[in-house]
A and B are shown apart, each in its own frame.
Chain A
Amino acid sequence: MKSVLIANRGEIAVRIIRACRELGIRSIAVYSDADAEALHTRLADEAYRLGPAPSSESYLRTDRILDVARESGAEGIHPGYGFMAERAEFAKAVVDAGLVFIGPSPATIDMMGDKTRARTRMEAAGVPIVPGTTTPLADAAEAEAVAESMGYPVLLKAAAGGGGKGMRVAEDASRIRPSFEAAAREAKSAFGDGSIYIEKYLSRPRHIEIQVLGDLHGGVVHLGERECSIQRRHQKLVEEAPSVVLDPETRAAMGEAAVRAAQAVEYAGAGTIEFLWQDGDFFFLEMNTRIQVEHPVTELVTGIDLVEWQLRVARGEALPWTQEGIRIEGHAIECRITSEDPDDGFLPSTGTIRYLELPQGPGVRWDGGVAAGTEVGLHYDPLLGKVIAWGADRATAIERMDRALREFVLVGVEHCGPFHRRVLAEEDFRAGNLSIRYLEEHPELTRAPENGDALQRLAAAAAVLLEDERRRTLAPPRIRPGAGGAPRSAWQEAFAPGASEY
């Protein structure tokens, strides 16, 4: 495999292009009209247009992607994450076209995409699952009966679900019927499938996932865990490896369970088994059959390049490690930088990035998909890039991340960098006291903090100095506008009303 088409955009497309280049593989980017000049199109060896800006007319068009693959002579297709990454029919179309799909087989994607089938399969493989049903419920009456025997609270979930849609908590018997009906309605409209199953509701679990890597020769290893408990509306924001809460025995048990899970579905490539952990017990949540946004933290603590190994596995290479050969060293943290305003309820922000100063220095990595001049629009998800920091221990990694975020400057759109610095300074985070309810328990982190007196005074002084400077620089024009048609000076042009700068 000497050429790979990257059926994605943004930071993950850039990440895959980098891995291709390091392996001497020709990289082929695709783009929508909104991304015609995006970073990934400039870094790849070649770039081809898919279609108009909406995903449904570009990055989600199997036919267009395969057309470009044929025209460009691509031998493999890497789907990245999101878009086509977990669509079994896309993987099948790629394979049927005689190309290599860089990921697991269509059958594996299909199996793991169906939550109840995945639960059944995992249970059979001896992987602990959250107590509940492994088949869809017939009706609200069955939901009531199961909940009664299991004990409240319970969670009703769409079998075809994801992203929090078609999901309802029922605290007690009075809520089970309305919750069932609401979840089924929502699932039907979101996924076209109203099947609902039931799980025991865990009050304060952590999200801990295990990275696995499999090859085409039956080899599977796990690369340790990532803790991704800090989430907002099921969107992960901060991830770290390792988790502070796992003792060596639980870590080994989770790793072995993940390897069994991967082997049960003959997994090839990079995949993630997500677990919920509470009070020492862990339960299978779902498997992501793709590379994940947070993969760099695992790369930094294991020294293994996951995207490189996705490509090597797809080429038929066998994994060179035994499980004992995988070593976890130090601690890594990732902060996702999204174009959301952390001082205003995480409202999405758009605009043109006018200025960008990336974090640098020891132990810091930036995986991004934007550059100065990039337009951030509303068509795609708001991830701009990720800051990842490594340290010999967790405290060092936290300090290093804070230092990196302090140096990071992005002007033109609002971004959630300041939110991350608030998290890094927060006591429970520092103590490692996390759960997926972390942000519900710390709502102040998603609001602008009060301006202190000193900041207020500094701001007043700065505003006056800038205003004073502006008034002095803008000497009153000698000729009134329109009176003589004298050419305007460069200064006047620069400060004409409507100029974006001050």
Chain B
Amino acid sequence: MDYFVHIGDERLHVSVKDGALEVDGTPMPVEVLGRVGDTVRGLRLSGRGHRVIPARNGKGRWQLRIDGRRIEAEVLDRGQEAIRAAKMAAGVATGPAPLEAPMPGLVLRIDVEVGDEVTEGQGVAIVEAMKMENELTAAAAARVSAIHVAEGEAVEKGQTLVEFEPLDDSDPEEDEG
């Protein structure tokens, strides 16, 4: 079975054959320890142990903590990878990423209105958590297309606060990077 693992901008090809594993063509004698559902699992690579805390964040998406380091990996099989590649080739525009709450908290202030143009790094909202005010900023220049929360509202981690659309004169290819 062939899998393609996306970590950040990297893509690694991993094949599993009769329990033997190859990463980008190089054999990797690794076994996973523990049982399905255990909070803490182990990895043993050529005798050397590592602690792994896995969390599944949706289809094929794994957040792994290995020896205290956090890694987000998406695992696609050959079919899924082909669909992904076809979509990328078709140039499906993704548009500017929405602003999400990085932690649960209370929206103290929204500094923009629908239709506003924001510049990269501009303060968009302030969310208070644990008595600390955290300013959330725009990741890129864009126009505000929707605001989903009100001042004084409690928000969950990952909740979408503000959505953006590309500026008219911006290069649509820019976000594909």
Residues on A lying within 8 angstroms of B by beta carbon are: 339, 341, 343-344, 347-350, 354-355, 357, 378, 380-382, 406, 409, 411, 417-418, 421, 448-449, 451, 455-470, 473, 494, 501-502
Q: B130, A378: Cβ atoms under 8 Å?
A: yes
| B131 contact from A381, A459, A470, Cβ within 8 A | A381
Contact for A448 among B3, B36, B70, CB less than 8 A: B70
Q: A380 — which chain B residues lie within 8 A by C-beta?
A: 130
Q: In the complex the two chains form, is B56's CB within 8 Å of A470's CB? A: yes
> What number of B residues sit within 8 Å (CB to CB) of A?
52
Q: Check if B125 is an interface residue, CB within 8 A of chain A.
A: no
Contact of B23 among A418, A457, A467 (CB under 8 A): A457
CA gap between A459 and B30 in the complex, in Å: 11
Which of A348, A421, A467 makes the CB contact (< 8 A) with B129? A348
A461 to B3, CA, bound (A): 10
The reply to whether B45 and A458 contact each other, CB–CB distance below 8 Å, is yes
In the complex, chain B residues whose CB is within 8 Å of the CB of A349: 103
Most buried by A among B36, B55, B62, B105: B36
Q: How far is the CA of A421 from the CA of B36 in the complex (A)?
A: 29
Given contacts A355-B39, A466-B32, whether A421 and B68 have CB atoms under 8 Å apart is yes
Q: List 24 A-B contacts (CB under 8 A).
A: A348-B105, A355-B39, A357-B40, A378-B130, A406-B67, A406-B68, A409-B40, A451-B71, A455-B66, A455-B69, A456-B10, A456-B71, A459-B66, A461-B21, A461-B30, A461-B43, A463-B62, A466-B32, A466-B41, A467-B3, A467-B75, A469-B36, A501-B37, A502-B37
* Interface check B124, CB cutoff 8 A: no
CB-contacts of B1-34 with A (<8 A):
1, 3, 5, 7-8, 10, 12, 14, 16, 21, 23-24, 28, 30-32
Contacts of A449 in B (CB 8 A): 69
Identify which of B54, B56, B157 contacts A462 (C-beta below 8 A).
B54
Q: If the complex has contacts A468-B16, A470-B56, A502-B56, are A458 and B70 also in contact, measured as CB distance less than 8 A?
A: no
The listed residue (A348, A458, A464) touching B3 by CB distance below 8 A is A464
Instruction: Give every chain A residue within 8 A of B134 (Cβ-Cβ).
Output: 347
Say whether B53 contacts A459, CB under 8 Å.
no
Separation in Å of the B19 CB from the closest CB of chain A?
10
Contacting pair B103 A462 (CB below 8 A): no
Q: Which residues of B contact A341 (CB under 8 A)?
A: 103
Whether B52 is near chain A, meaning CB under 8 Å from some CB there, is yes
Contact with A along B130-166 (1 / 0, CB 8 A): 1110100000000000000000000001000000000
A446 to chain B, nearest CB (A): 15
**A458–B50 CB distance below 8 A:** yes
Are A417 and B68 interface neighbours, CB within 8 A?
yes
How far, in whole Å, are A350 and B132 apart by their CA atoms in the complex? 14
* Residue on B nearest A346 in the bound complex, by CB: B132
Give bound CA distance, A409 to B53, whole Å.
Answer: 9
Q: Which of A348, A421, A502 contacts B62 (CB 8 A)?
A: A502
Known: A347-B103, A470-B36, A502-B56. A378 touches B129 (CB 8 A): yes
Contact B103 A348 (CB under 8 A): yes
Interface centre among A341, A344, A462, A464 (most CB of B within 10 A): A464
- A411 with B68: CB separation less than 8 A: no
| Chain A residue at smallest Cβ distance from B75 | A467
Given contacts A457-B23, A464-B16, A467-B62, 12 further A-B contacts (CB under 8 A): A354-B39, A378-B129, A381-B130, A381-B131, A456-B71, A457-B24, A458-B30, A458-B45, A460-B5, A462-B52, A469-B36, A502-B55
Give the residue name and chain of the B residue nearest to A417 (CB). B68
In the complex, what residues of B have CB within 8 A of residue A473's CB? 36
State whether B75 touches A462 (Cβ < 8 A): no
Bound Cα distance A397, B53 (Å): 28
Contact among A347, A378, A462, A469 with B43 in the assembled complex (CB-CB below 8 Å) = A462
The answer, among B12, B16, B129, for a CB contact under 8 Å with A456, is B12
A243 to chain B, nearest CB (A): 28
Distance A380 CA – B129 CA, assembled complex (angstroms): 10
B130 touches A348 (CB 8 A): yes
Q: Of all chain A residues, which has the CB nearest B71?
A: A459
Q: 1/0 per position for B71-96, CB-CB distance to A under 8 A?
A: 10101000000000000000000000
Inside 8 A of B14's CB, which chain A residues have their CB?
A: 460-461, 464
Complex Cα distance, B51 from A406, in Å, reads 10
Contact, CB under 8 Å: A347 / B104? no
Q: How far is the CB of B68 from chain A (nearest CB, A)?
A: 4
A464 touches B36 (CB 8 A): no
A464 pairs with B45, CB closer than 8 A: no
Q: Which residues of B contact A494 (CB under 8 A)?
A: 37
The residues of B that contact A459 with a CB separation of less than 8 Å are 5, 7, 64, 66, 71, 73
**How far is A457 from B62 in the complex, measured between Cα atoms in Å?**
14
Determine if A460 and B73 form an interchain contact, defined as CB atoms under 8 angstroms apart: yes
Give the chain B neighbours of A339 by CB distance below 8 A. 130
Any A CB within 8 A of the CB of B172: no
Nearest-CB distance from B80 to chain A (Å)?
A: 11
Contacts of A418 in B (CB 8 A): 68-69
Residue among B5, B39, B67, B132 making CB contact with A463, cutoff 8 Å: B5
Cβ–Cβ < 8 Å partners of A350 in chain B: 103-104, 129, 157
Residue of B nearest to A452 (CB): B69
In the complex the two chains form, what is the Cα distance from A381 to B129 in whole Å? 10
Residues of A within 8 A of B51 (CB): 409
Cβ contact within 8 Å between B21 and A465: yes
